[in-house]
Amino acid sequence: MTDDTAVTKEKALKQRLKKEGVELVRFIAGAAVVYLAITTLLFRTFYIPSSSMEPTLEVGDRVIVLNFMYGWSRQSLPFGLGDHLPSGDGRILGRLPARGDVAVFRHPACDPSRPRATNRCEHLIKRVIGLPGDEIEMRAGRLYLNGELVERDLVDIVRYRTYDTREIVNPQLFEESLPGGKVHKIYERSDSNPLDDGLQFVVPAHHVFVMGDNRDMSRDSRDRRSLGFVPTEQMVGKAMTVLFTFKSCRKEATLECPNTWDRWMKPL
């Protein structure tokens, strides 16, 4: 093999590697664009880290959230990219959540301009109970909406071990019926929780009132210092169903153990 032939082959190899490198970069860039488009315009998945939405959602569930249900805003962008856009409810095709929706939103106190250690920009998931103008009252553990008692029917008393503290609890399982026809299950350990009595609210414009289905284990709009009303500009999307779960409870005699299949791909 002559020196000229070796040089020619070396140049050809470099050109081929360069071409393949460019194609790889294009592929990765294209995949990133498609991913951003899907997670911004259509849907994202969110992990459930706490028990505040039991029995509807369990710790470890991964839920599908439709971004377009409430319109698109800077909150629709993944990875906190929307934090670099101007604040305010600049929402495209915006609409209010429906009463009873399980919604994902950013904490109302979120301020991206503050240091990460002190801001509260986490995503939360709760059920929408009150819409703008609604009057909400908690009286002796019962929920009143616009002066009317929200009906609940006792289904069972369950006994299970919690994920976080590993204690055994015995909450009552109710089916709650919201105005408009939405029926969902809730847990109540007692009706004497500090957030269960003597609280009155009027939901302001451009806000919603949210509660967790695990009523005595949820810091929600009943607690003005922890959460309070949620501005509609903080809304991300509507949670539709459980895609899969990362955790499963250990079966124990006499204790309930939630079955993932009872939640998988079923409407929330």
Cα Rg of the chain (Å, integer) = 24
End-to-end CA distance of the chain: 71
- The structure tokens listed for 247 are 């955790």
Q: One-letter amino acid identity for 247?
A: K
User: Does residue 52 carry a catalytic annotation?
Assistant: yes
Q: Are 214 and 39 in contact (CB under 8 A)?
A: no
Q: Are 157 and 144 in contact (CB under 8 A)?
A: no
Kindly report the backbone phi and psi dihedral angles of residue 31, in degrees, each rounded to the nearest multiple of 5, phi listed first: -65, -40
Q: Which among 52, 73, 218, 221 is annotated as catalytic?
A: 52
Q: Which among 73, 76, 126, 218 is annotated as catalytic?
A: 126
Residues labelled as active-site residues: 52, 126
